[in-house]
């Protein structure tokens, strides 16, 4: 039996490939988060049909722990995060924060000037566990309604 990831696990971003896509489709979120993200296979299928879509796998000690899907607009040098999910077994270990910081550094090095996203408020969790709070800790600020943005 493989050991579960810990806070000390190394985190990396990698492409989703023929070797790991099944692991991505097997990821699950907590029951109170299921309304926040579509099934993973749906997101992977959608990605195939949108040329501006990019997708990165979140690895914890080389094992799939989540993924991030985003769209890049080369004209505006902006990215919009479409989906960000960390498997329920890996939540609360800091992987989301580390993965988001890695993505922000990667995009900054590619000349991206800002990242935006849309969050959903849900009453099942305390405010400190909300998506808004999570993204605010990484510098995102509310810009309108459920929209948040951060300059890089």
pLDDT digits (tens, 9 = 90+) for 56-104: 999 999 999 999 999 998 888 999 999 999 999 998 899 999 999 999 9
What range defines the domain where residue 77 resides?
11-116
Q: What is the CATH number of the domain that holds 15?
A: 3.40.630.30
β-bridge partners, 83: 69
Residue 79: inside a domain, yes or no?
yes
Residue 103: inside a domain, yes or no?
yes
Q: What is the pTM of this model?
A: 0.89
What torsion do the CA atoms of 102, 65, 92, 117 make, to the nearest 10 degrees?
Answer: 50
Q: Domain tally for the chain?
A: 1
CB-CB neighbours of 22 under 10 Å: 10
Residue 68: inside a domain, yes or no?
yes
What pLDDT digit, counting tens, does each position of 114-151 carry?
999 998 766 666 777 788 888 999 999 999 888 999 99
């Amino acid at each position: 039996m493989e050991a579960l990831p810990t806070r000390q696990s190394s985190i990396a971003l990698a492409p989703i490939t023929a070797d790991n896509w099944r692991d991505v489709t097997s990821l699950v979120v907590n029951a109170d988060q299921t309304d926040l993200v579509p099934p993973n296979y749906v997101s992977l299928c959608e990605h195939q049909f949108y040329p501006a879509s990019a997708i990165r796998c979140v690895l914890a000690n080389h094992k799939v722990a989540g993924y991030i899907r985003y769209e890049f607009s080369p004209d505006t040098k902006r990215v919009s995060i479409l989906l960000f999910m960390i498997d329920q077994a890996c939540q609360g270990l800091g992987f989301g924060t580390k993965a988001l910081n890695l993505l922000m550094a990667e995009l900054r090095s590619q000349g991206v000037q800002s990242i935006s996203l849309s969050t959903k408020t849900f009453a099942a969790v305390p405010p400190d566990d909300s998506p808004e709070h999570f993204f605010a800790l990484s510098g995102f600020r509310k810009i309108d309604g459920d929209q948040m943005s951060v300059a890089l």
